[in-house]
Amino acid sequence: MTNIIEISGLNKTFRTSRKHEPVRALDDVSVAVREGSCMAVVGESGSGKTTLARVLVGLETKDSGEVAIAGTPVTTSLQRKEQRARARAVQMVFQDPNGSLNRRLPVGSAVDEVLRAHFPLTASQRKERVSELSKSVGLADSHAQSLPSALSGGQKQRVAIARAFAAEPKIIVLDEAVSALDVSVQAQVLELLHELRRDKGLSYLFITHDLSVVRNIADDVIVMRQGQILERGTVDDVLDRPQSPYTRLLLECAPKPGWKPRRGVIEHLNSKIAS
Amino acid sequence: MAASETAVLSTAPGIPAQGRLASVRRRLGWIGMVCAGIVAVVVLAAMVGQFFVPYDPTVGSVTQRHLGSSAEHFLGTDQAGRDIFSRLIAGARTSLVGPLIVVVATAVAGSMLAFTAVWFGGKTDAFLGRVLDVLFAFPSLLLAILGVAIFGPGLVTASIALAVAYIPYSARVIRSVALRERNLPYVKAAELQGINGFTITLRHILPNVWTQILTGSTINFGYAIVDLAALSFLGLGIQPPAADWGLMISNGQESLQQGFPGQSLYAGLCVVATVAAMAYIGERLGGRAAAGRSKQ
C-alpha cells in the first residue's frame, strides 16, 4: 500500500516575543499516512498537533523538512496555482463550524463556490451537485438556502464536511472536527465520516484530544507532546498496549464510566509527567 | 442571546423587506426617525424642490434687498434681493450632491485600498500604511484647497479633492474591520478551498463589513457638508450666483455685520440639522451593529 502523505523531519518554531525562548511546535516530525486509512493525532493542547495540520494544508509555513502528498512535494508558497492544486488534494474541516462558515452566506452557496472555483460546471449542474453533496452528509435540500445561524451545530458541521468534499480531495484533515459537538451528534458525524471514507476511498488525518473518538474512527495513531512524536502504531497497539509513560498517562486521564476526580489527582499526574 | 440572534437574522439576505424596515425602525428609535424625516425632507427638496420654489433663486431685485420675513418672502431676502427660502431649497441639491460624491468616492477608494492592504498583508500593508500616514500629515481641508488650486474651483473638483483628503481616515477604519474579518476561520477556510482572494474579498469580507463602511459614510457625510461649505465659503467650491448653503453662509457674513443675520442663520441651521441628523442615524445604526457583533 502506498503512502498518501509523507512527512519527514518537519520543523517549525514560533517566536512569541524577543524575551521568551522560541517555541518548538514541531520538532523533527515524520509521519506517513497510508492511502485510504485514517491517522489520528492525539496530544494535549500545545503539543503541536494542530500546527502539523496547518502546515500540511498550507496555513502555516514550515521551517525545514519535507512534505509530500501522493508523491508530490508540497511547498508552502502563496502562488495561486499551487494553492488551487493543494485545495484539490487536501481539504480541512475546522473545529468550530460557527467560525468556519460565513455567517452571511447561505450554506448552499458556501458549497457552490467551491465547485465554481474548481470545476467547469454550469449553474444547474452545480445546483445538482450541491444537492447531491447535501444528501451525502444527511442534509435536506431545503437547508441550502439557510444561513448558518438557522442550523444546529451538527448540521453546520455537516455543511463544513460537505464543503470539504466538494473539491473531491484525496485527503481530509479534520482538526478537532467533532470536539465541539454533543456526544450523540458526535457519534452521528463520526459514523458519517466513516461511511464517506469507505465510499470515496479517502484518507483522513484526524486531530483530536479525545481518545474514545480515536478508537471509533482511526486505523493508526500518533501521540504528540511538545512538538515531538512519542509513540506511533495501530490504534489497538497504542491504546491497549501503550509503550510510553505519557500515553499511559493520557489513557489514565481519559474519563471512563464511573470515573470520579479524586483529590490530588492533578498533582499526582504532574509528578508522573515530570518523572 | 435571543435578541442578538434576531438582530443577525434581520440583517440577513432572504428576509422579507418589511421585516428589515421594521428592524431599522427599531434600531433608530424615535429620535432617529425624526432625523430620518429631516434627511428625507432635505433629499426631497434636493430632488424636486426647484420646481416648487416661489421665486427664481438666482435672480434678485436691488429694491428688495434685506427684507425681513413677510407673507411674500417667507424668510426674507438677501443682500442681492433674492428670496432666501427659494435659495435654501435650491441649495439643497448642491449641498447634498457634493457630499454624496465625497462619501461615495471615499468609501470606494478607501475600501479598495483597505482590502488590498488587508488581503496581501505584510509589505503591501506596510507600504500603503506609510502612504496613508503621509496623507494624514496634512489637514484634510488644506489638502482639498491644494487640490482645488490645481484643478480649479467647482462642485465636482472640490468634492473629489475633499474625497482624496478623506481617504486615509476611511481606509484606516475599513482596514481595521476588514483585518479582523480576514483572520476569522471562515476566510482561512475559503482560502484553503482554493477560492481566489478577489472572490473572497467580494463575497465574504465585504458583506461582513459593509455596515461599518456605511456607518462611516454617514458620519463622513456630515463632515463633508461642513467642509464643502467651508470650501464654498472660501470661494473654491460652488460659484455664485448658484445657490449653496455654504455659499449662503459665506455671502451672509457682510449682511451679518449690518444687522441682517437671516441668510447665514437659516443656511447654517440647514447645515447643522442635516449634519446632526446624518450623524445620529450613522451613530445609531453603527453602534447597534457593533453591539450585535460583540454579542455573537
Q: Which of A57, A100, A104 sits opposite B185 (nearest CB)?
A: A100
**What is the grid cell recorded at B137?**
500629515
Residue in A with minimal Cα distance to B205: A102
Q: Does A83 touch chain B (CB under 8 A)?
A: yes
Q: How far is CA B251 from CA B26, B57, B140, B233, in A?
A: 41, 14, 24, 8
Q: Does B295 touch chain A (CB under 8 A)?
A: no
Please list the pLDDT of chain B residue by residue as tens digits (296 residues): 344 444 444 444 444 556 677 777 777 888 888 998 998 998 888 888 777 777 777 777 777 777 777 767 777 777 777 888 888 888 888 888 889 999 999 999 999 999 999 998 889 999 999 999 888 888 888 888 888 888 888 888 889 989 988 999 899 999 999 999 988 889 988 888 888 888 899 988 998 888 888 888 887 887 888 788 888 878 888 777 778 888 888 777 778 888 788 888 888 898 889 888 888 887 777 655 544 444 33
Q: Does A61 touch chain B (CB under 8 A)?
A: no
Where are chain B's structural domains? 2-295
Q: Which of A84, A88, A100 to mutate to test the interface with B (most CBs of B within 10 A)?
A: A100
Return residues 138-197 of A near B (CB < 8 Å).
145, 147, 149-150, 160, 163, 166-167
Q: Are A30 and A8 in contact (CB under 8 A)?
A: yes
Looking at the complex, report in whole angstroms how far the Cα of residue A241 sits from the nearest Cα belonging to chain B. Answer: 37
What radius of gyration, in Å, describes the C-alpha atoms of chain B?
22
Burial of A227 (0-12, 13-18, 19+ CB in 10 A): buried
- B-chain CB neighbours of A166 within 8 Å are 193
Backbone torsion region of residue A224, taken as left when φ is above 0, otherwise alpha when ψ lies between -120 and 50, otherwise beta = beta
Distance between CA atoms of residues B75 and B69, nearest Å: 5
Residue B45 C-alpha from the chain's centroid: 17
Residue with cell 420675513: B69
For chains A and B, CB pairs below 8 A equal: 77
Collapse the DSSP code of B205 into the 3-class scheme (helix H, G, I; strand E, B; otherwise coil) and give the result.
helix
Task: Say which CATH class A3-274 falls into.
Answer: alpha beta
Give the Cα-Cα-Cα angle B196, B202, B207 (nearest 5 degrees).
135
Q: Does B185 touch chain A (CB under 8 A)?
A: yes
Which one is the CATH code of B2-295: 3.40.50.1820, 1.20.1300.10, 3.20.20.100, 1.10.3720.10? 1.10.3720.10
Distance between CA atoms of residues A103 and B176, nearest Å: 19
Greater pLDDT, B75 or A148:
A148
Q: Which of A59, A92, A149 sits opposite B9 (nearest CB)?
A: A149
Which of these, A125, A144, A126, A115, lies nearest to B194 by C-alpha position? A115
